Copies of this chain bind each other. A is one copy, B any other.
Amino acid sequence: MSASLENNRIVLASRPVGAPVTDNFRIESQPLPSVNEGEVLLRTIYLSLDPYMRGRMSDAKSYADPVEVDDVMVGSTVCQVEVSNHPDFEVGEWVLAYTGWQSYAVSNGEGLLKLGKSPSHPSYALGVMGMPGFTAYMGLLDIGQPKQGDTLVVAAATGPVGATVGQIGKLKGCKVVGIAGGEEKCRHAVETLGFDVCIDHKADDFAEQLAAACDKGIDVYYENVGGKVFDAVLPLLNTGARIPVCGLISQYNATELPEGPDRMYMLMGTLLVKRIKMQGFIIFDDYGHRYDEFATDMSKWLAEGKIQYKEQVVDGLENAPQAFMGLLEGKNFGKLVIKVADPL
């Protein structure tokens, strides 16, 4: 390590009102912190960008603390150990960390998950083998309880969660109906991921197309979007349907409640008369103790070619804000990852 190295980082400059804009972020450089005894210096190779980060930018009470203004944006990273003063870590080792939007971080080793000396796809730990894949797996299997012959609907069908949900649904014998934005994503969902059908939510007759595709109704709806997608799903839900609520990306930039009428009790009335379960979950809080079960199944499925996984890698930490803003608008295609630096 040269003494001239600096830590580049992106901090929250101000809280967004509605959709985040460039001015909400600020890139800055700092001298590298010193690495004391019992610590390692982590070099960020990959940074994960995920929709939940929008919530952290607001100061509304949520399941996790907000990022403070002037603090570095949070996020999962795949790093290499560049300096080690810690007996358990060697230089060059790969780890999964939560060091955020910056090129370097010092860690005492707590919370680092070792990925080995030469993992074949280190960035997968941010996607299909990490939080998004685990989210897909537990939400679908534990809350969604898919059964052979069920109709499973999943939005954001080519995102890292949706793509995994749908493919696991196929493994469990479901009819899988995807929803995605645009023809290219829909084609990918069917041709590469093996969904039975995928509907473009930008189509004028989207709701009619969804109803036609779900001619036997919907048994499991994996919710990660909300908005007009859920509006179209709601009347199609079957008796006994299950709705894992994983995300509501369409609402993350909302600054006020939508206009009326108030459909809250209509929703609850539907849950009642159709005996529907709707359940929110936060993956590591609810299911952290079942990670090994997921990792075992998913490794096997990947090795057998039963799960396909698509990444979109954007080069350069400085491009993270723009990429993140696009993510919230559905502009990405596949799991969005920032390549922050070359490996050692």
Contacts and interface: CB of A to CB of B under 8 A. Distances in A.
Given A262-B263, A263-B262, A265-B227, A272 B245 contact: yes
A303 interface: no
A142 to B, nearest CB: 11
Nearest to A267: B264
B226 A268 contact: yes
Given A277-B277, A279-B276, A279-B277, A268 B63 contact: no
Interface string A40-52: 0000000000000
B262 A258 contact: yes
Interface in A141-199: none
B271 A280 contact: yes
Nearest to A224: B272
Residue from the set A226, A264, A266, A268 with the largest chain B CB neighbour count within 10 Å: A264
Contacts of A267: 264, 267-268
What size tier do the contact residues of chain A reach? Answer: 35 or more
A278 B269 contact: no
B268 A223 contact: yes
Contacts of A286: 275
Given A247-B272, A258-B261, A271-B279, 10 more contacts: A55-B273, A63-B274, A230-B268, A246-B272, A261-B262, A264-B264, A267-B268, A270-B280, A275-B281, A275-B282
A16 B70 CA distance: 60
A260 interface: yes
Residue from the set A272, A274, A276 with the largest chain B CB neighbour count within 10 Å: A272
A285 interface: yes
A62 B273 contact: yes
23 contacts: A226-B268, A230-B265, A230-B268, A245-B271, A246-B272, A247-B272, A248-B268, A251-B265, A257-B262, A257-B263, A258-B265, A260-B262, A262-B262, A262-B263, A264-B266, A267-B267, A268-B278, A272-B280, A273-B280, A275-B281, A275-B286, A277-B280, A279-B279
Interface in A178-234: 223, 226-227, 230
